[in-house]
Amino acid sequence: MTLSELIEKARELAPADRVALAYELLDSVEEPEEPDPIVDAAWQKELRRRIEDIESGRVQLVDGRETMRIARERIAERRARQGA
């Protein structure tokens, strides 16, 4: 089977199965990295900051569907500006 035939077959899968396949394929080519203590510490600091922002009310959480709606609107606006 050629790559293009495989891709066409994969497109026949249900959306959730295509996502699972994509993750499996990515996992098969990504090499595990050794943890970097500096990066881990930076992420821990960032996570603590974000949690504090949420708990203090400095930021407001947005529902996932609302986030996607906003993102689609912004993308559409950028495309409209680029096409103008």
Q: Give pLDDT tens digits for 65-76.
A: 999 999 999 999
Residue type, 36: D
CA distance 84 to 80: 6
Domain assignments of the chain as residue spans, ordered by start: 1-32, 35-84
Mapped onto helix, strand or coil, the DSSP state of residue 68 is: helix
| Residue that is written with structure tokens 């103008």 in the block | 84
| Whether this model's pTM surpasses 0.85 | no
Q: Give pLDDT tens digits for 5-56.
A: 999 999 999 999 999 999 999 988 877 778 889 999 999 999 999 999 999 9
